[in-house]
């Protein structure tokens, strides 16, 4: 049954996160789990494709692990990007694993050139681009900076796992043209309607 697949995944991530504090080691454990869930589309529901028009993407939270437990407060969600929409460069301040589910979205990794000593300033240059779609898994270290855009003519959908609840972290958003760093806006999210 579709629901139990996601529940089993959550249990597997909880076990993978427990006892590993190094983000890279945790990511190594979470990648194969995420790839396996993303490889089976039976758990994907139409509600995952509902987009917040103002934001340009829709986030459905599948699981928020409580802080302080063995799972360390990890987060599982889907994000659906509207055609032609995206999100500015930002960091996560925790590890992340993203797997493509449907359609294609362009992930841009940015390299930070300054030392971060001047508050509000940041010099970024594009490093690499990855097209995230079915079969593609992308990982993030806590300080990595990336942006996303959907340049196709249909929505894209991806599965996201983060080491902490992003809504509770003070993250940064960047404007590479202006050379600025500012607090990352809080995203609009909604819980999955059924478990
Ligand atoms: Fe992100």
What are the 10-residue block averages of pLDDT along the chain, 195 residues in total? 81 91 93 98 96 95 84 90 97 97 98 96 98 98 97 98 92 98 95 79
**Of 21, 51, 74, 26, nearest in space to 155 by CA:** 51
Q: Ligand 1 center to residue 107 CA distance, Å?
A: 9
Provide the whole-model pTM. Answer: 0.95
Per-residue b or e along 54-82, where b marks 16 or more CB atoms closer than 10 Å to that residue's CB:
ebbbbbbbbbbbeeeeebbbbbbbbbbbb
**For residue 98, how far is its CA from the centre of ligand 1 (angstroms)?**
9
- Domains for the chain: give ranges and CATH numbers: 2-191 (2.60.120.10)
Is residue 123 classed exposed, middle or buried when 0-12, 13-18 and 19+ CB atoms within 10 A define those classes? Answer: middle
pLDDT of residue 70: 61
- Going from the Cα of 163 to the center of ligand 1, the distance in angstroms, rounded, reads 12
pLDDT value at position 71?
Answer: 62
Q: Give residue 3 CA to ligand 1 midpoint distance, Å.
A: 25
Distances (CA, A) of 148 to 27, 54, 77, 115, 127: 20, 16, 16, 24, 13
Q: Could you tell me the distance, in angstroms and rounded to a whole number, from the CA of residue 4 to the centre of ligand 1? A: 27
């Amino acid at each position: 049954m579709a629901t139990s697949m996601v529940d089993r995944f959550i249990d597997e991530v909880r076990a993978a996160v427990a006892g590993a504090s190094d983000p890279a080691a945790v990511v190594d454990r979470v990648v194969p789990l995420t790839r396996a869930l993303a490889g089976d589309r039976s758990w994907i529901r139409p509600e995952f494709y509902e987009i917040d028009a103002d934001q340009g993407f829709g986030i459905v939270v599948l699981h928020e692990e409580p802080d302080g437990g063995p799972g360390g407060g990890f987060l599982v969600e889907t994000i659906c990007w509207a055609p032609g929409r995206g999100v500015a460069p930002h960091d996560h301040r925790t590890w992340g694993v993203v797997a493509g589910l449907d359609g294609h979205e362009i992930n841009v990794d940015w390299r930070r050139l300054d030392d971060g000593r001047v508050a509000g300033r940041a010099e970024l240059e594009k490093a690499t681009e990855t097209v995230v779609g079915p079969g593609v898994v992308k990982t993030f270290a806590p300080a990595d900076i990336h942006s996303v855009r959907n340049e196709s003519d249909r929505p894209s959908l991806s599965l996201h796992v983060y080491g902490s609840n992003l809504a509770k972290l003070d993250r940064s958003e960047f404007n590479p043209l202006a050379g600025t760093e500012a607090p990352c806006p809080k995203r609009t999210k909604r819980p999955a309607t059924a478990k």
